[in-house]
Amino acid sequence: MIDNPYLPIKTEVLDVIEESPTIKTFRLRPETPLHFKAGQFVEMSIPGKGEAPFTPSSSPYEKDKLEITIMKAGRVTSMIHNLKKGDVVGLRGPYGKEYPLSEYEGKEILLVGGGVGLAPLRALFLALVHDIEKYKNVLFCCGSKTPSDIIYKDSVLDKWQSLDKKKVKFRITVDRKDDSWKGNVGLVTTTLDNLEINLKNSFSIVCGPPIMMKFSTFKLLEVGYKPEQIYLSMEKNMSCGIGKCGHCRLGNFYACKDGPVFRYDKISHIHEIWD
Amino acid sequence: MDLYFINKPNLDRLVKSLSKTYKIFVPVKSDNSRFYKKIEEGLRDSVIGEIRAVEPIKSFYFPARTKIAEYFSKDDSDKKEKPIAIIGAKSCDLASFKVMDYVYAQEPFKDPFYISKREAGLIISSDCTSYGETCFCVAIGIMPYPTEGFDISLSEVEGGYVAEAGSLKGEKIIKEYFKLFQSADPYIEKRDSNRKKLKEDLLEHVKKSKIPSKDSIQPAFKNKFDSSLWEEVAKTCVECGACNMICPACHCFILMDQKKENGFERLRMWDSCLLMSFAKVAGGANPRKLLAQRMRNRFDKKFNFFPDTIGRFGCTGCGRCIEACPGKIDIREVLSKLEG
């Protein structure tokens, strides 16, 4: 019999990192390594309870472990948030289309992330940084609701800031500040003004909540990006992960097998993409 | 393919022999409907002709509830079952295999449960000898007699059936039991005229539904995408999902995990795109919040997505959804409203 694509791999929770009041990162080690590419997703399950799709947030170059950053949002994610070091979960995948890294070579790369949408972009960012000489430069625009909602604080606010500033730059903003915040205040779209990027030689990649994706995409079009220069990670109800269960259909595509990474011009005509 | 004649007693003998290898299901009649029944002792009260059974053929290959994985347990035993043979499957059900095969047998993730049943199974189809009030296959280009997707097909004629092999598997069976068959020559003309007559009668029957011509359905759907038609159609929908369950081409499912004595198991169950939560994600976003959007989505999938994807409709004109709908939503009527 051919391999059963619905069968999860037994996976150990190695560590749980609290990123924000509603977001945790889970460090995982599957019994059989699971090699994903940045942008692809996996199905993570609580044994006997249920399963949900997530895009790993760790470097795809890390071979036997991976990290998944998860916001407490529904039934399965609430159970996942109760997990502790040493617990066992299920994983299957990776599924779907990754970010086309080879197309990004020699280009100026703009990453636009909001909230937990930073998760797939972190995997992408780490993949870009891994071979940074291949890319002209990277600008990472990160938006969060408040300073306490910023995820990967150690990296975003500290570790990544020591990377070569000629190659890697950041624009970090919060919607609402608190007393401790000295940085930018405003929606992530405000970081897209005055881009010091040669738009003709650039790709932008957006990931975040639906409303943020919508307005960021429109803003990118407004500042001069063409639809074929914008990549989106679409969040749909990817239940089986393999193009069969029907839940994540998006026009003539299934987000799980034709996405979740889509070039905007390929899906811009589809109704309901931002909902 | 070559044609043969098999008389009724010989068909019964053939079925009895095949039951050593296969679990055999044949339609039997109850009141005025037909249901598949597992038979062990020949054809008896089975109905080979007439019209399709109430249940769609998908229920044999993609059952309503299937255990698709046992995990983190020791006994992942694989128990062998006899393959399934369906006798008396109709053309509308065979057409649904085009959709199901596309979904479940496509690369790179083939569905092992579906594929093993399909590969090992046997389909002995048969011509419709009448039509039901809700039948409209001919309106969307499907004939009321099998043209593809069978191993052997039977056309009822006086005293027996004209048998046609449609696959190597079918040919092999006919060769193996060759003494049960005779020359079909005296019966071919009658078979063809029966087919022609039923097709004409059915065309006449569907005329009053005013369904757009086969080739104009998809463009008409696209034109009506933003119209108020969908709100109108959705008015009497009670979101029961019956149309999805009974549809031979509806393939969507939901996964469900549960604990078992030793480890865990994962179940796959039929799902319905008309239910509110079908496309909803954990954060609460739902691309099809409104029932009218979900109603449109059902037609989008059948008459827009599948024509683009596999060059055929995701509807076979069997009319089961018309009978099943408590809101009296009639797919023929909806199609008729796409134009104009």
Q: What is the CATH number of the domain that holds A33?
A: 2.40.30.10
A112 & A203 share domain: yes
CB nearest A244 (choices: B111, B279, B287): B111
B167 and B237 inside one domain: no
Q: Is B260 inside any structural domain?
A: no
Place of tokens 């008729």: B336
* B233 and B171 together in one domain: no
Please report, for the domain that includes residue A200, its CATH number: 3.40.50.80
pLDDT per residue as tens digits for the range B189-223: 999 999 999 999 999 999 999 999 999 999 999 99
- Is there a single domain that holds both residue B221 and residue B290? yes
- Number of structural domains (chain B) is 2
Q: Do A80 and A142 fall within a single domain?
A: no
The yes-or-no verdict on residue B160 having pLDDT over 90 is yes
A141 in the same domain as A91: no
Tell me, yes or no, whether A79 and A202 share the same domain. no
pLDDT at residue A121, rounded to an integer: 97
For residues A74 and A55, state if they share a domain.
yes
Residue B269's DSSP bridge partners are: B65, B254
The domain boundary, picked from A48, A71, A95, lies at A95
Give pLDDT tens digits along chain A (275 positions).
678 999 999 999 999 999 999 999 999 999 999 999 999 999 999 999 999 999 999 999 998 999 999 999 989 999 999 999 999 999 999 999 999 999 999 999 999 999 999 999 999 999 999 999 999 999 999 999 999 999 999 998 889 999 988 999 999 999 999 998 999 999 999 999 999 999 999 999 999 999 999 999 999 999 999 999 999 999 899 999 999 999 999 999 999 999 999 999 999 999 888 88
**Contacts by B110-115 with C-beta closer than 8 Å and gap 24+?**
B110/A2, B110/A5, B111/A5, B111/A244, B112/A1, B112/A2, B112/A3, B112/A4, B112/A5, B113/B62, B113/B66, B113/B68, B114/B61, B114/B62, B115/A2
Residues B30, B111: one domain? yes
B292/B155 same-domain check? no
Does a structural domain hold residue B65? no
Total structural domains in chain A? Answer: 2
Candidate from B257, B301, B305 with C-beta closest to A51: B257
Which residue in chain B has the smallest CA separation from A252? B305
Taking an 8 Å cut-off on Cβ atoms, the answer to whether A272 and B293 are in contact is yes
Is B27 in the same domain as B150? yes
Q: What is the number of alpha carbons within 13 Å of residue B128 lying toward its C-beta?
A: 29
Same domain, B181 and B202: yes
Of B167, B126, B146, the residue nearest B11 (C-alpha): B126
Residue B257 with chain A: CB contacts under 8 Å: 45-51
User: In terms of domains, do A90 and A105 share one?
Assistant: no
Does some domain include residue B66? no
State whether A240 and B255 contact (CB < 8 Å).
yes
pTM score, two decimals?
A: 0.93
Q: Are B97 and B16 in a shared domain?
A: yes
The strand pairing partners of B5, in sequence order, are: B162, B182
Nearest residue in B to A255, CA atom = B279
In a domain, A56, yes or no: yes
Shared domain for A142 and A219, answered yes or no, is yes
Q: Which stretches of chain A are assigned E, i.e. beta strand? A: 9-18, 23-30, 41-46, 50-54, 66-71, 88-95, 108-114, 137-144, 168-174, 184-185, 202-207, 230-233, 249-250, 253-254, 261-263
Q: Do B103 and A243 touch (CB under 8 A)?
A: yes
| CB-CB neighbors (< 8 A) of A245 in chain B | 252-255, 271
Q: Is-contact B144 B125, C-beta < 8 A? A: no
Residues of chain B in contact with residue A240, where contact means CB-CB under 8 angstroms, are 253, 255
| Residue finishing a domain among A95, A126, A144 | A95
Write out the residue range of the structural domain in which residue B167 sits.
3-55+80-207
Residue of B nearest to A31 (CA): B72
On whether both A79 and A26 belong to a single domain, the answer is yes
Are B218 and B284 contained in the same domain?
yes
CA atoms within 13 A on the CB side of B204: 7
Residues contacting B261, CB < 8 A, separation 6+: none
Amino acid found at B164:
E
Which pLDDT score is estimated for B102?
Answer: 96
Residue of B nearest to A7 (CA): B69
The torsion angle over the Cα atoms of residues A38, A43, A44 and A48, rounded to 10 degrees, is: -170
A246–B104 CB contact, under 8 Å:
no
**C-alpha radius of gyration, chain B, whole number:** 21
In-domain check, residue B241: yes
If asked whether residues B187 and B236 sit together in one domain, one would say no
ipTM of the complex in this document: 0.91
Residues B123 and B148 in one domain: yes
B186, B51: one domain: yes
Could you list the residue range(s) of the whole structural domain that residue A43 is in?
A: 9-95
Q: Which residue of A has its CA nearest to B270?
A: A245
Q: Give B-chain residues touching A247 at CB under 8 angstroms.
A: 252, 254, 271, 278-279
In a domain, B191, yes or no: yes
